[in-house]
Amino acid sequence: MKRLLFLAFVAAVALESGHARAAVRPINPCAIVTQADASAALGVQAPKGFAASHIANASLGGGRPVGPLVLCRYRTSVGELDAHIQSYASARERFASDRKQWWPTTSYGGIGDGAFYTGGGSLEVLKGSYILWISLSFKKQIAPREADPRLLALAKKAVARL
């Protein structure tokens, strides 16, 4: 009986915490960062993006929401582009918390309500209640200390679609 009560408690806490940070409206990240966008950023024709749960990394195709975070991935012979989007009731606070976690970061103006580069090839962007993460990596390149201009241009296009 105690075990059942404990499991019910854990499920209730997980459900409640999930509501506090879960997506208000799931968005297809492959529609926000398109195949054409990925091709331009990577410099080669990218295949159709595929969605993967950030947790299970299950290939599903089409960018359908499958978990707390849904990732759209474009893989090519030269590199990879990943994009994921999440909606938060307190997105601004989450963005600030993420920035502290990744410190030191580089800020970039003119992209959404705020953007920072983590130095590892990833850009985090805040727009309203959404946070968009875009990662651009090339097989024969170490992640630069500053955001690649192609990554910044892509982020501006993607944010305009949110």
pTM of the model as a whole: 0.74
Residue-by-residue pLDDT tens, the chain, 162 positions: 322 222 222 233 233 334 444 445 567 888 899 999 999 999 999 999 887 665 444 444 444 444 455 789 999 999 999 998 888 888 999 999 988 888 778 899 999 999 999 877 899 999 998 999 999 988 877 666 788 899 999 999 999 998
Single-letter amino acid, residue 102: W
Residue 25: what pLDDT?
58
* CATH 3.40.1000 matches 22-161: yes
pLDDT in tens, 95-112: 999 888 887 788 999 999
pLDDT of residue 32: 92
Closest CA to 41 of 88, 86, 82: 82
Residue type, 127: K
> What is the structure's pLDDT at 28?
82
Annotated domain spans of the chain: 22-161
Cα(53)–Cα(56) distance, integer angstroms: 5
d(Cα 37, Cα 82) in Å, to the nearest integer?
A: 11
Query: Starting from the edge strand earliest in sequence, which strands make up the sheet with 50-53, in order?
Result: 50-53, 70-75, 79-87, 130-138, 122-127, 114-117, 106-107
User: What is the CA angle 42-118-124, rounded to 5?
Assistant: 75
